[in-house]
Amino acid sequence: MNPQDQPGPDPGSGGGIGLSNRLANPNRARMLVVEDDPRSRKLLEGYLLGEGYQVRCAPDGPEALELVARQVPDVVLLDVMMPQMTGHEVCAALKAHPRTRSCQVMLVTALDSLPSKVEGLDTGADDYVTKPVRREEFLAKVRALLRARRLLVDLEDARAELAARNDELQLKKALAQSLVHDLKNPLAAILGNLELLEMRSGSDLLHLVQRSKRGADRMLQMILNLLDVERLEEGRLQPEQKRLNATTLVQGAVKDAEASAGQRDVTLVAEADGAVKALGDVALLRRVVDNLISNAVRHSPMGGEVRVAARMRAEGVEIAVVDSGPGVPAAYRENIFDKYRQIDARNSNETANRGLGLTFCRLAIEAHGGTIWVDDGPDGGACFHCVLAAAEPEGDEERTAEPVLAGHFEGGG
C-alpha cells in the first residue's frame, strides 16, 4: 500500500502542534528502518534503540509503505539495493505525497560512487550514509535530520496559522465591504429627502438642511472612496479613456465645492488658460479633483485660499491643487497616499488624517497611466499635482503648449 492510499493521517503523525510538541522531545521521535539484510537491520535498530528512539523495521519497500500508511515516521533509514522496490523508489513515493513529504529520508548504501549519491539526492533523499555504518557519524546525521524535521513542522504550523488568519481577514473584509455597500441605499434616501427639504424649507431652516446635506454628501464620498479603492487595488475598476476638457472639469469641481468651502470661509479659485484637453475617465477624474479640493479645504485655515489649475506641460496635462494650510513635511510625501495614513501637521498640535481620499486619487491616476505627487506650494501650503496623457488635437484644434500659470503654480513639480 502506498501512503497515498491511506484515508487520513494517524493522530500526531502529520504536521501540527501535536507533532511539534512531540519532536521537542527527541526520545519520542519515530524511526523506520528499511533494510533487507537482517544483520544490517538489527545493527541500525540497535543504534537507534540505544538512543531511546521509537523504532520500527521493514524488510522491503512495500512493507515499509504499509507501515508508513498506518503511522508516519519522522526519519526513514532506507537501504538502496532491495528487491521489489529500490530505496530510490521508496524515497520518491514518500516525497511525492503531502502526508509524508516532510519525513526525513537517509539512504543507507554500499554504493560509494558520486553518481549513486547524486541519484539518491535527486530522488528527494535528505542525506545518506555509506556501509559499513559508523555509529557516531550515523547518529549525528540522525540528530541533524530530526532538527530539520522540527524546523519543517514549525514552518508548516506557521503557514497553516497564517492561512487561517488570512481566511478570517478575507471574511471580515468581505463583511465590511458588504456593510459599506449596503450603507449607500439608506444614505441615498437621506440625501433625497434632504433635497426635498432644501426646496421646501424656509430661510430659517434652509441653512440647517444644507449643512445636513453637505454632511451626507461627504459620507457618500467616503463610502465611494472605500469601495473604489478596493476595486482599483484588485484591478476590477478600469478607467474609460476618452477625450475630456480638463478646464471644464476643474471649473465644475470648483463651482460645486464653493458652498462647503464657504462654511470654512475658504476661497476657491479656478485657473486655466483656454481649453486643456486630456485623455481619461470623466467620472473618475472628477472625483479625484473633488477629493483633492475637499482635502485642500479641510487643511486650509479660516479665511484661506485654495487654487485649482488645469494646464499643459511637456509631460501631458497637469491638474494642480494648492492650499494655504501647514503643508506636508518632506518625510511623509511618499507615504501620504497610503491607506489611512496619518501625519503630524506642521506647526500644529493636531494630527492631520488624510484618510482614503488620497489613496483613491493615487490609484485612480495610476490606473490612467498618470502620476500624482505633493510638494510645497510657492507661497506655502501643500501643492498636489496630477499629470495625465494629453489628447491629440481633433479637427481644427491646434496642439500648442499653454503658458505656465503665474503665481501659485510657478514652482510646482
Cis peptide before 132 (omega within 30 of 0): yes
For residue 411, what pLDDT is reported? 36
Topology at the third CATH level for domain 242-409: Heat Shock Protein 90 (3.30.565)
For residue 4, what pLDDT is reported? 47
- Grid cell digits, residue 243: 477625450
Contact 409, 378 (CB under 8 A): yes
pLDDT at 110 over 90: no
188 band by pLDDT with thresholds 50, 70 and 90: confident
* Range scoring the smallest mean pLDDT among 57-71, 141-155, 342-356: 342-356
For residue 166, the SS3 value is: helix
Query: Which residue type does 278 have?
Result: A
Q: What residues contact residue 343 under an 8 Å CB cut-off, 6+ apart?
A: 328, 329, 332, 336, 351, 352, 354
For residue 32, what pLDDT is reported? 96
Closest to 35 measured CA to CA, from 50, 55, 49:
55
pLDDT at 7 over 50: no
Contact 216, 190 (CB under 8 A): yes
Query: Which residue type does 189 have?
Result: A
- Grid cell digits, residue 132: 559499513
b/e burial code for range 318-336 (CB count within 10 A of at least 16 → b):
bbbbbbbbbbbeeebbeeb
For strands 277-280 and 242-245, give the pairing: antiparallel
The fourth-level CATH superfamily of domain 3-163 is Response regulator (3.40.50.2300)
pLDDT tens string 397-406: 544 433 333 3
- The model carries a pTM of 0.50
pLDDT at 253 over 90: yes
pLDDT tens string 333-384: 888 888 755 554 444 433 344 457 888 899 999 999 999 999 998 888 999 9
Mean pLDDT value across the chain = 80
Q: How far is CA 275 from CA 243, 312, 369, 384, 399, in A?
A: 12, 10, 22, 21, 11
